[in-house]
Amino acid sequence: MHIKRITIISSVILIVILASFFKPSESSIIQRNRNIYAIGIDQNIIYHDIKKEFGITIDSFEINQFKIKRNYSLARLLSEAGVNNQSILKATQSSSEVFDIRKIKAGNQYRLYYTKDSPGILKYFVYKHSPTEYLKINLQDEPHVVLGEKEIVTIRKNSSGTISSSLWATMIENNIDPMMANRLSEIYAWSVDFFGLEEGDQFKVIYDEQFVDSIPIGIGEIYATCFTHHGEELFAYEFEQNGVKSFFDEKGKSLRRQFLKTPLKFSRISSGYSNSRMHPILKIRRPHRGVDYAAPKGTPIYSIGEGRIIRKGYTKSAGYYIKVKHNSVYTSGYNHLSRYPKGMKVGQKVTQGQIVGYVGSTGYATGPHLDFRVWKNGQAINPLTIKAPPVEPIFENNQLTFEKKKKEYQQELDKIDS
């Protein structure tokens, strides 16, 4: 019995000694508790991540999410959520001080955070105005309003693709944000005819993609790209010069030109420039001194270059039209418009890429399209044959910096599989 008692006492002492070695320090416990909390169940500790959104600990609430219906105001949303009139008045007044509540958009999401007891009490209202911007109303005691902005996480990526049908479809096939098609068309607007892409054309691109809450929200900065068109590699490297970022080719020449390659994005040529074409309505052969682009009604039309509006009006054949004089040599014209942007008038200056009208089918037209025309020294020319000179290249004092950047981008592009 005496030996058994000694054995038990020795075991207890050994356990205490071992426990002292494995006991976590107070500082380590504090550090851990900054990020997690613990719940004791049957003497076993279970750790859980604290989950938050919009600064709200979501585990404490029942969350309902809805889309805003047409003609709904903030007051109506709060009323239908069960908020009393006095709190609604204070909440809308406070919200108006930080946000124009008239800009609440139908179709956007809002969330209601109710306590988990029965009946649940609404504690928070959150309206998601954009992927990053939100309006949060704390309805505990006096309504308190915060206009918040979620953090945008930027991740550098590279992607590539081979054209099978269209640039847009290729983006989707390669799990790339389809808006990349727009961005590439803007970069190469002066050198690639995106209505004439061929199967087998390829692209490589180095860029930033933006995320909010791990959800992609769009394309950020594009650093470099290579577009292979008709077997020719066309490089574009981003470089900042005189405080302005632009794209330059491998020789340091700007990709911007005096004129855009086309006045529309993503359409198709339905009729080309011709000295003798059967008119689809008049049924007689006559010259067609322009290029027709078939596109849905309302598609934006862009001025191919900087200039001044010299004519605007309506004729029986051209329908609504507008003409822009770019310089002493070139003038462009846009026919069969459905309407104009506000403020378009004769004598007004326009910039390259500015919207000057929208596709329609006014005048002699069998369907919605743009009849695009260009005159050189007063004589009609084929718009597809214009070879406009580039704008300012890399300055001499920037050459070394540009070459260094270009080399880095080129090495990265070479590593991307087509």
- Annotated domain spans of the chain: 53-149, 153-248, 268-385
pTM: 0.62
CA separation for the pair 70, 166 (Å, rounded)? 35
Residues 6+ away with beta carbon under 8 Å from 223: 206, 207, 208, 237, 238, 409
* φ/ψ (deg, to 5) at 274: -150, 145
Domains 53-149 and 153-248 share a fold: yes
3-state class of 117 per DSSP? coil
Q: Is 194 in contact with 207 (CB distance < 8 Å)?
A: no
Q: Which tokens go with 268?
A: 């198709």
Instruction: State whether the Cα torsion 224-183-189-350 is positive or negative.
Output: negative
Q: Does 153-248 carry CATH code 3.40.50.1980?
A: no
CATH class of 268-385: mainly beta
Confidence at residue 13, expressed as pLDDT on a 0 to 100 scale: 53
Confidence at residue 63, expressed as pLDDT on a 0 to 100 scale: 93
CA separation for the pair 274, 129 (Å, rounded)? 50
pLDDT tens string, the chain, 418 residues long: the values are: 455 555 555 554 555 444 444 444 333 332 333 233 333 333 333 334 568 889 898 888 999 999 999 999 999 999 999 999 999 999 999 999 999 999 999 999 999 999 988 788 899 999 999 989 999 999 988 899 999 998 899 999 999 999 988 889 999 999 999 999 989 988 988 788 777 788 899 999 999 999 988 889 899 999 999 999 988 999 999 999 888 899 999 999 998 888 888 898 866 676 655 555 555 554 555 566 788 898 899 999 999 998 999 999 999 889 999 999 998 788 999 999 999 999 899 999 999 999 999 999 999 888 899 999 999 888 888 888 887 767 789 999 999 999 999 999 999 999 987 6
87: Cα separation from own chain's centroid: 37
Q: Is 315 in contact with 355 (CB distance < 8 Å)?
A: no
Give the tens place of pLDDT for each residue, 27-41.
333 233 323 333 333
Please give, one letter per residue, the 3-state secondary structure of 233-261.
EEEEEEEEECCEEEEECCCCCECCECCCC
Instruction: State whether the Cα torsion 74-77-83-85 is positive or negative.
Output: positive
Confidence at residue 224, expressed as pLDDT on a 0 to 100 scale: 97
Confidence at residue 117, expressed as pLDDT on a 0 to 100 scale: 87
**What is 53-149's CATH topology?**
Nuclear Transport Factor 2; Chain: A, (3.10.450)
Is the link from the previous residue into 143 a cis peptide, with omega within 30 of 0?
no
Where in 242-368 does DSSP place strands (E)? Answer: 244-248, 268-271, 274-278, 285-288, 291-294, 300-302, 307-315, 319-325, 330-339, 349-350, 355-359
